[in-house]
Amino acid sequence: MSGIDRRTVLKGSLGVAAASALARPALAKGQTIKVWWNQGFYPAEDAAFRALVKDWEQASGNRVELTLLPGQALNEKIISALTSGDVPDVMYADNAPAQIVPQNAWKGRLVDVSDIVEKVKSSLSPTAIQSAQFYNAEEKKRGYYGVPFKGATLNIPVWKSLIEKAGYKMSDVPKTWDKFFAFFEPVQDKLRKKHMRHTYGLGYTLSTTGDDPNNTFNQLLVGYGGGGIVSPDGQLHTKDPKVRKAVIDTLNSMAVPFKKGYVPPSALNWGDPDNNNAFHAKEIVMTPNDTISISVAVMDNKKWYYDEIATLQLPLDNDGKQVPALLGVELAFIPKGAKNIEAGKDFISYLVQPKHLGSYLREAKGRWLPVMPEIVHNDPYWLDAKDPHRPPAVRQGVLGPTLTWFYVFNPAYAQVDAEHVFSVAAADIINGMSPDQAVDKAFSRMEAIFSQYQIPHQA
Amino acid sequence: MDATVGTTTLGDAAAARGGIRRRLFGEGPHGSDLNWALAFLVPYVAVFLLFVLYPVGYALWLGHHPESYRELFNDPIYLKTIVNTLVYLALGVNLHLFGALMLSGFFTRTNWRVRSLFLVYILPWAVPAIPTFIAIHWMLNGEWGFLNNLLYAVFGIDGPSWLNYRWLALFSSVGAYIWKWMPFWTVIFLAGRMAIPQELYEAADMDGAVGIKRFVHVTFPLLANLYLVCTLLSTIWTLGDFNTIYFVTGGGPALSTHVLATLGFRDAFEVDNPQLGMAAVLSALPLLIPLVVILMRKLAKTEVQI
């Protein structure tokens, strides 16, 4: 100890502290980050994102090498990258939170982004915060593996003009669950009598591809009281009689109208855009759909947008209580092995500043909802009474009660959705299997999948 | 002493190198010829290593976990997928090759009408596969598809929902596959028929072998080897065919029309389990490897066979 006294140690400690304090906030300029981003449904979405990228480039002095790809192609690229380890710095795909993030957070392949989320936590909705926390099986704990920035719930676009043609008024549409969906059956009957040979009342997607079948089934499940099928600690509750009954009710509510001819037969084979196309072709009077893409896609057709199409919120449950909407929260995430993690984080931090995020989502024509309620409160655009589509979506998905998707609680549910276990069960009922047998088969598959993703009860 | 030993050793080493070279290159090129040979060879070897050996090796590595196969065999749709794959192979390969063999006889006629028809006939092969199969998917739509609208307009009947029933959907895909690929094999068999010496037919005519007899006793025996090679090749291609099922039925309804190629894709990129997807694809190897071995043996025959 002869050469080192207390003063020297203190001096040294202060020096190190000062150096690290100075080094941390400064992001080196002149870096290039690779960003893979989901292409928009229409050009305005891409233009809005490009504008945000340009703003960040100017503000940070860094550059973005941007790759925009449509959803399916991007998923393949992301999965390949995460498997091989040759990854970009920032990624976002529309259905990554449901199909990619849970499994890869589980495998420890994503960077923990708690530092970004913590900075904007006070602005985020509680569902958004919960939707970013996934279980890491390597570290045996949950962490933030994505930064929430936008979301969507299931809306119900309907053709007002077809309802009126059938001899009803919009005010005739019932407010409670079963009655609401049953209303569209006589609407179809009356339209058929008016020689609309190929118009169907209900546009349920019952296929085994894409997200729409899962979005519809799971939201209907919540409406029938089955929201506890997976608890936030990741446990599966197929033994719960309430859950079983809700699953049976949900499957029946989709399969029985199909068998009665109130759902287009081709709905068994629809891809994600097909219910949009069928709606625009007036083949269906209504269709449950995430985001307000169906309406926004025809925004330039003023007559359709303002007069003929309405966006309805979810009905009340059969007891007259409000049904929480499953909020699909979109996440930007960073893979482990990214070369510029700090610059990538800086880009995402810039994106989720309420001012930047509000402007970006608004410029993208508001198809997606902000996950920061203050954006909606501070900008009249989101609740503009003249717009017949965005305000109902905002009231339901931002201001109303929302639920976190089950795949956040356990990645096994992401696989259940990816395998379309419940679409297969609905098809089994359509093909003559009893609902009890179909549910037994589905639950057996679910239990097999969940056995591969075991999470301790307290996590 | 040391110098002598050193010289001897160097001489032995040089002789050994020469031996290795002789073993590798025989009495082939030496000096600058050898350098040129290597210069031409290296790019091909590099491309082979990079784009053939590495991807195949990586795929085998991805699919090497026994756990993936356990998971695959426990998947309730795997068995159905195997059955579909075998049905798809049996029907797809045999129907379109037999049809091609028959039609190649028709297209040997030289009048201008047949030649014009031949041009139209090979169009499906010439157009890109993916938009074609998407168009077929739409044509088969039960409510507004071209086929059912045609049935309604002509006969006043509502056609079935072609893609809503497992076997109807699978046979629709087989139909689309045959439509797409039969022209290609027809061209191959047409070339085979044209290589048969005309004298053989003239001799057969003199012996009274005309019509079906001529086909059975002259044409088919001479084309048999070509037909077998085409069958093997077509089986290998059909086993790896992804586009037809993926774009015509999408594996539906209720995952009932998947074949191994589409199941592998689903497991890799929808279920986000590339190891499982690779296991699904590699599970076709017990069928694929014998086919490739037989094909290589047939192709290795030195004598010219039509």
The complex's ipTM? 0.86
Q: Which residue in B has a C-alpha nearest to residue A424's C-alpha?
A: B254
Whether A21-152+327-404 and A154-313+419-450 share one fold: the answer is yes
From A140-149, A162-171, A212-221, B4-13, the region with the lowest mean pLDDT: B4-13
Interface touch B254/A427, C-beta < 8 Å: yes
Interface touch A79/B144, C-beta < 8 Å: no
Classified as helix, coil or strand, A201 is strand
Q: Which residue in A has a C-alpha nearest to residue B166's C-alpha?
A: A431
| Beta strands A325-332 and A402-404, pairing class | parallel
Predicted local confidence at residue B16, as pLDDT:
60
Domains of chain B: 1-62 (no CATH), 68-300 (1.10.3720.10)
pLDDT of residue A202 exceeding 50 = yes
Predicted local confidence at residue B21, as pLDDT:
60
- Cβ-based contacts under 8 A for chains A and B: 82
Q: How far is CA A343 from CA A56, A88, A145, A346, B28, in A?
A: 11, 12, 17, 5, 57
Distance CA A172, CA A27 (A): 59
pLDDT digits (tens, 9 = 90+) for A357-410: 999 999 999 999 999 999 999 999 999 999 999 999 999 999 999 999 999 999
DSSP H helices in B145-219 = 146-155, 166-194, 198-206, 212-214
Interface touch A79/B74, C-beta < 8 Å: no
CATH second-level architecture of A21-152+327-404?
3-Layer(aba) Sandwich (3.40)
Distant-in-sequence, close-in-space partners of A389: CB < 8 Å, separation ≥ 6: A157, A292, A295, A296, A305, A309, A310, A311
Taking Cα atoms as reference points, which of B177, B179, B161, B180 lies closest to residue B169? Answer: B161
Residue with tokens 């303002």: A306
Using the Cα atoms of residue A176, residue A181, residue A184 and residue A189 in order, give the sign of their dihedral.
Answer: negative
Q: How far is CA A248 from CA A219, A403, B124, B186, in A?
A: 14, 21, 46, 53
Shortest distance between the Cα of B267 and any Cα of chain A, in A, equals 9
Cα-based angle A273, A76, A367 (whole degrees, multiple of 5): 40
Give the pair of three-digit tokens for residue A149.
């920035």
Distant-in-sequence, close-in-space partners of A97: CB < 8 Å, separation ≥ 6: A131, A146, A328, A329, A330, A331, A405, A407, A408
Shortest distance between the Cα of B265 and any Cα of chain A, in A, equals 9
**Per-residue confidence at B15, pLDDT binned at 50, 70, 90?**
low
**Per-residue confidence at B25, pLDDT binned at 50, 70, 90?**
low
Distant-in-sequence, close-in-space partners of A60: CB < 8 Å, separation ≥ 6: A27, A29, A343, A346, A347, A350
Predicted local confidence at residue A4, as pLDDT:
46
Provide, as residue numbers in chain B, all residues whose Cβ is less than 8 Å from the Cβ of A414: 272
Taking Cα atoms as reference points, which of B257, B234, B236, B139 lies closest to residue B178? Answer: B234
Contact (Cβ atoms closer than 8 angstroms) between residue A344 and residue A326: no
pLDDT of residue A195 exceeding 50 = yes
Residue with tokens 């063999």: B101
Interface touch A269/B62, C-beta < 8 Å: no
Beta bridge partners of residue A328, listed in sequence order: A152
pLDDT digits (tens, 9 = 90+) for B98-143: 999 999 999 998 889 999 999 999 999 999 999 999 999 999 998 8
Contact (Cβ atoms closer than 8 angstroms) between residue A213 and residue A267: no
Mean pLDDT, chain A, as a whole number? 93
Count of other CB atoms within 10 angstroms of residue A31? 18
Distance of CA A312 to the CA centre of its chain: 18
**Per-residue confidence at B12, pLDDT binned at 50, 70, 90?**
low
Provide, as residue numbers in chain A, all residues whose Cβ is less than 8 Å from the Cβ of B74: 448
pLDDT of residue B300 exceeding 80 = no
User: Percent of chain B scored above 70 by pLDDT?
Assistant: 89
* Nearest Cβ partner for A208 among B71, B251, B273: B251
Hey, what amino acid is at A369? L
Classified as helix, coil or strand, A337 is coil
Using the Cα atoms of residue B288, residue B291, residue B295 and residue B297 in order, give the sign of their dihedral.
Answer: positive
Reported for B34-43, long-range contacts at CB under 8 A and 24+ positions apart, including other chains, are none
| Beta strands A32-38 and A90-92, pairing class | parallel
Question: E strands of A145-246, at which residues?
Answer: 147-152, 154-159, 200-202
First to last CA, chain A: 47
Distance CA A428, CA B256 (A): 11
How many residues are recorded in chain A? 459
Backbone phi and psi for residue A332, each to the nearest 5 degrees, phi listed first? -95, 135
Contact (Cβ atoms closer than 8 angstroms) between residue B182 and residue B103: yes
| Beta strands A325-332 and A147-152, pairing class | antiparallel
From A157-171, A245-259, B223-237, the region with the lowest mean pLDDT: B223-237
Provide, as residue numbers in chain A, all residues whose Cβ is less than 8 Å from the Cβ of B254: 208, 268, 423-424, 427-428, 431
Interface touch A420/B255, C-beta < 8 Å: yes
Beta bridge partners of residue A289, listed in sequence order: A155
* Nearest Cβ partner for B271 among A207, A264, A415: A415
Hey, what amino acid is at A39? Q
From A135-139, A191-195, A203-207, B197-201, the region with the lowest mean pLDDT: B197-201
B interface test, pick of A266, A413, A445, A451 with most B CB neighbours within 10 Å: A266
Contact (Cβ atoms closer than 8 angstroms) between residue A102 and residue A414: yes
Residue with tokens 């790896």: B240
Give the pair of three-digit tokens for residue A303.
């007559």
**Per-residue confidence at A459, pLDDT binned at 50, 70, 90?**
low
Running DSSP on this structure, what letter comes out for residue A291?
A: T
CATH topology of domain A154-313+419-450: D-Maltodextrin-Binding Protein; domain 2 (3.40.190)
Count of other CB atoms within 10 angstroms of residue A76? 16
Largest Cα–Cα distance of chain A, in whole Å?
Answer: 102
Predicted local confidence at residue A134, as pLDDT:
98
Provide, as residue numbers in chain B, all residues whose Cβ is less than 8 Å from the Cβ of A104: 272
Taking Cα atoms as reference points, which of A127, A133, A70 lies closest to residue A105? Answer: A133
Q: Which residue has the higher pLDDT, A262 or B288?
A: A262
Distance CA A80, CA A416 (A): 21
Count of other CB atoms within 10 angstroms of residue A77? 17
Distant-in-sequence, close-in-space partners of A381: CB < 8 Å, separation ≥ 6: A362, A366, A390
Cα-based angle A343, A349, A353 (whole degrees, multiple of 5): 150
Contact (Cβ atoms closer than 8 angstroms) between residue A101 and residue A331: yes
Distance CA A6, CA B190 (A): 96
Taking Cα atoms as reference points, which of A1, A72, A74 lies closest to residue A36? Answer: A74
Distant-in-sequence, close-in-space partners of B72: CB < 8 Å, separation ≥ 6: B78, B267, B276, B279, B280, B283
Interface touch A266/B253, C-beta < 8 Å: no
Question: Left, alpha or beta for A432 (phi > 0: left; psi -120 to 50: alpha)?
Answer: left
**Per-residue confidence at B19, pLDDT binned at 50, 70, 90?**
low
Question: E strands of A213-321, at which residues?
Answer: 284-286, 289-290, 309-312
Shortest distance between the Cα of A371 and any Cα of chain B, in A, equals 26
pLDDT digits (tens, 9 = 90+) for A22-57: 444 567 888 999 999 999 988 999 999 999 999 999
Interface touch B164/A104, C-beta < 8 Å: no
Give the pair of three-digit tokens for residue A445.
């598959």
Q: Using omega within 30 degrees of 0 as the cis cutoff, is the peptide bond preceding B76 cis?
A: no
Q: Is A140 exposed, middle or buried (0-12, 13-18, 19+ CB in 10 A)?
A: exposed
**Per-residue confidence at B303, pLDDT binned at 50, 70, 90?**
low
Shortest distance between the Cα of A62 and any Cα of chain B, in A, equals 32
**Per-residue confidence at B4, pLDDT binned at 50, 70, 90?**
very low
Taking Cα atoms as reference points, which of B263, B293, B119, B1 lies closest to residue A419? Answer: B263
Mean pLDDT, chain B, as a whole number? 89
Provide, as residue numbers in chain A, all residues whose Cβ is less than 8 Å from the Cβ of B252: 207-209, 268-269
Question: Left, alpha or beta for B251 (phi > 0: left; psi -120 to 50: alpha)?
Answer: left
Contact (Cβ atoms closer than 8 angstroms) between residue A207 and residue A267: yes
Running DSSP on this structure, what letter comes out for residue A324?
A: P
Domain boundary assignment for chain A: 21-152+327-404, 154-313+419-450
Classified as helix, coil or strand, A135 is strand
Residue with tokens 């610059």: A343
Contact (Cβ atoms closer than 8 angstroms) between residue A147 and residue A352: yes
Running DSSP on this structure, what letter comes out for residue A28?
A: P
